[in-house]
Structure 1
Amino acid sequence: MFADDARLSHRDLPKEVAVVGARLDRSVEHFGAFRDAWAAHLDTSPHAVGVEVGDDGLGRIVFTRLQEPPAKLSLILGEFLYELRAALDNALYAVAILDSGQDPPPKASALEWPICADEKAWKSHRDRRLSALSIEIQDALYAIQPFQAELPSWNCLRILNEMARTDRHRAVHFVTSFASNGWLQHDMNLVKDLQVFPGPVAPDGTLATFRWLGDFPINPDYLDGGTEFDVEVAGVELGPGPNGDEDVRPWRTLEERLRALHRAVTEYVYGLIDLGIELAYEREHGMDAKPPC
């Protein structure tokens, strides 16, 4: 959990630290349940892909959903997000106790882990909710704000905040299918104007459009392919990745995004708790003292 448990022996940690660990463990359980539920959904063969061509020769490759994803997928995802967001706030409360030496800590009811989109929002949040914390704690929180990130759209705190806020205040995150990988081959003499639409499956299921010039029914000899579909939240925003490549999903897949959120929250909460322990030890033993390692 911490870099070195020996350094913690000098004091009893606030009970909220154990709650943080329990929430992180619980979020892992939710992640596993989400993966299992999606795999079970795929086992039902819930969709089909076919080719349609009209009398005018305009055609499309179409995704047909035979069975909607189960509603529990959205609920499990919401529970995963809740545990991570709550772990941040529990950690900040524990750090405030360590920092102040008081339980409850000063301005306890105002404490909330900051996730700010810009400098103005940070200053407002700091003044309203973090003013009782030492400058070292404030600076550590400031350094990890989304607006400080090189690629804010991939910043895990920003992603977590947006997803958790949507789930909490507006609606659950409905899951959908995302055309992530595939291949396509076609007869360039008879299949013209082929346009492929990777990414979130369109409401009408269109994956590609084309113009068929043949005077006989189209068959796989002239147009053939395959597509892999993975789970995604509806309305996911695409944007440039860290390598400046074409528009992609943050962390490229929902699974990797959720893994990244858990890693980031784990790093941030225990990093801040470690800092709180150092400050508490310095307060009790002098500014130059360091916890035993």
Structure 2
Amino acid sequence: MAQPQTDDLFEKCFARIDRAVYHSNEAADTWNKLDVLGLHGISLRIESDGTGEFNVRQLGPLPQTLELLIGEYLYQLRAALDGATYACAIEDSGQNPPAKASTIEFPICGSIADWPKQARKIAQLNPGRRRFIEALQPFAEPSVDASLRIANANRSLGLLNDLARLDRHRRLHTFFTTIGTDAPILDLPEGVSLKSLVIRPSSDHTGPIARFSLDGWREGMELHANPNADIELSLEGMPPAAHNNDTFANRLKSIVMNVRIVISLLQKNSWIEPASSRLSISGIVS
């Protein structure tokens, strides 16, 4: 049986990826044009005994434009995966349209117990393609060093699926800023020393960014401080960072990178037999 030509379908998938990158760049441009400092309030409180806290908090909502752009980004990437799966079904079944076309999509599954049901969506694909897609599932995420999780395909596809489902079925995403610091700067009066400093963990978004205690502090003294903070964009409902490189921006880059690789390999349709090697995808996010 002659194999149907699907190059045009795959090209449309890559066009969707390019469109997603366009939307993410628009979101980044919107973020970069914001008066981020003006959106935040800084407060410093110190008690007579020398204990105090330092806080930076968001004062108001971020532009809804960010939510709309990221929603488009998620839609295009999810549609690209589904479109590539449909193209594969045409090739492997030899039919255009393939049987039960409405049931064909790229499954993304977080539970191995649910995989048999999800795998029905790719039943018309050849065994190599089915093995490949199964190896990419979030439930099959390998154990790697925290610094490498940002580039992992299983994790990236899980993030894409969760965020796209939330955007599609519930509401627009809610953006907020995360504020973190490694070393706030305290300009201490003469004769005063820092007794202790406790910095809020990066995974925690509530409460003061730092608590401190001073020796030699007396009422009437003045304390000047700089939070020396990094302000990052984040989405409500996203899991906490696994590492310092696991930022919102790097997650977007990793999702795009992995979707592009996955579709490229599905189009190539060249597979390793199960007994010969374990399949893995890795990459570097700069």
TM-score range, shorter chain: 0.7 to 0.9
Identity rate of aligned residues, in percent? 28
Contact in 1 for aligned 2:110/2:138 (Cα 8 Å): yes
Determine if contact 2:54/2:210 at 8 Å carries over to the other structure: yes
1:266 corresponding residue in structure 2? 260
Kindly report the root-mean-square deviation, in angstroms, between the aligned alpha carbons of the 2 structures.
2.8
Q: Which of 212, 220, 233 is the equivalent residue of 1:210?
A: 212
Q: What number of residue pairs does the alignment pair up?
A: 256
**Deviation per residue, 1:84-120 (Å, 9 max, x gap):** 1111001100111111121111221111201122322
In 1, distance between residues paired with 2:170 and 2:60?
Answer: 25
Deviations 1:36-68 (A, max 9, x none): 010111367322323123567553212143443
Residue pair 1:48, 1:66 contacting (<8 A) in 2 also: yes
Taking the aligned partners of 1:43 and 1:61, their CA distance within structure 2 comes to 18
Matched letter for residue 175 of structure 1: F
**Alignment-derived partner of residue 22 in structure 1:** 15
Q: Which shows bigger deviation, 186-195 or 141-150?
A: 186-195
Q: 1:83 to 1:148 in 2, by over 3 A?
A: same
3-state SS of the aligned residue for 2:233? Answer: strand
Number of the residue aligned with 1:131: 123
Distance 1:219 1:159 in 2: 43
- TM-score, structure 1 length as denominator? 0.76
Return the alpha-carbon distance in structure 2 between the equivalents of residues 82 and 234 of structure 1: 18
Give the aligned partner of residue 166 of structure 1: 166
Aligned-partner Cα distance in 2 for 1:42–1:19: 37
What stretches of structure 2 of length at least 5 have no aligned partner?
272-286
Structure 1 residues 169, 193: closer, same or farther in 2, change over 3 A?
farther
CA distance in 1, matches of 2:204, 2:110: 30
1:290 corresponds to: none
Which residue pairs with 1:234 in the alignment? Answer: 236
Name the TM-score, length of structure 2 as normaliser.
0.78
Q: Is the counterpart of residue 111 in structure 1 residue 107 in structure 2?
A: no
- State the secondary structure of the residue aligned to 1:78: helix
Deviates more, 1:130-139 or 1:23-32: 130-139
Distance 1:225-1:41 versus aligned 2 partners, 3 A rule: closer
**Which amino acid is 1:257 matched to?**
R
Identify the residue that residue 219 of structure 1 maps to in structure 2: 223
Give the deviation of 1:135 after TM superposition.
Answer: 1.6
The worse-fitting range, judged by mean Cα deviation, of 139-148 and 209-218 is: 209-218
How far apart in 1 are the matches of 2:114 and 2:232?
36
Q: 102-111 or 57-66, which moves further after superposition?
A: 57-66
Distance 1:113 1:65, change over 3 A: same
Task: Sort the Cα spacing of 1:43 and 1:124 in 2 relative to 1 into closer, same or farther, 3 A.
Answer: closer
